[in-house]
Amino acid sequence: MPLKEKITIEGRSGDAANLHFSVGSGGDNGEADVMLIQTFFHYLAHVNGKPMPYNGFPLSELPTISGKCDDKTKSAIRRFQNRYADRLLKVDGKIEPGKYAGRNIQSANDRVMTITLLHLLASEMHWHQPDAHYIWGLIRTNPKLRTWLV
């Protein structure tokens, strides 16, 4: 199940969405965790509610927010990881829960786990959204996440 926890990046602490179990090829693929990743992709592909191509993702290739780790979801994870390979610790088609010691990241420019990069990008994107924090944007995009992220 997704969860909200604290993350510290460059000495600044804030809320972050995280996975409970891994998602993607060979992952645990719990329904709620898969739904969080699918929602992240949708959130990052819209500005003020209007769809826009996101970093090479044709909107037609975004996975449906279903909680099922289908081929479209696995493809989206691979595409995302390949696009950001230079910023990630691993490119393996799987998104693991953030497990840094205390979720403390020394620099936003360091290589990070995929879930942490999703956090960083969603944090940047929230300035173009009507939400006070990207977690509220995720909930607006998929109200089912409210149970875990509030």
150 residues of the chain, pLDDT tens digit each? 899 998 888 888 889 999 999 999 999 999 999 999 999 999 888 766 666 665 556 778 889 999 999 999 999 999 999 999 999 999 999 999 988 656 778 777 889 999 999 999 998 877 666 777 899 999 999 999 999 999
Determine which helix (DSSP H) or strand (DSSP E) holds 15, and give its type and residue range. strand 12-18
CB atoms within 10 A of CB 98: 20
Collapsing DSSP to helix, strand or coil, 88 comes out as strand
Ramachandran region of residue 50, left (φ > 0), alpha (ψ -120 to 50) or beta? beta
The model's pTM is: 0.91
SS (H, E, C) 68-81: CCCHHHHHHHHHHH
Per the structure block, which two tokens stand in for 16?
Answer: 């972050």
Sequence-ordered alpha helix ranges (H) in the chain: 31-44, 71-83, 114-125, 134-141, 146-149
Q: Residue 88: CB partners within 8 Å, gap ≥ 6? A: 81, 111, 112, 113, 114, 117
Question: CA 80 → CA 37, 65, 146, 147, distances in Å?
Answer: 11, 16, 25, 26
**Between 114-125 and 134-141, two packed helices, what is the crossing angle to 10 degrees?**
90
Q: What is the pLDDT of residue 59?
A: 79
pLDDT digits (tens, 9 = 90+) for 102-123: 677 877 788 999 999 999 999 8
Per the structure block, which two tokens stand in for 70?
Answer: 């289908």
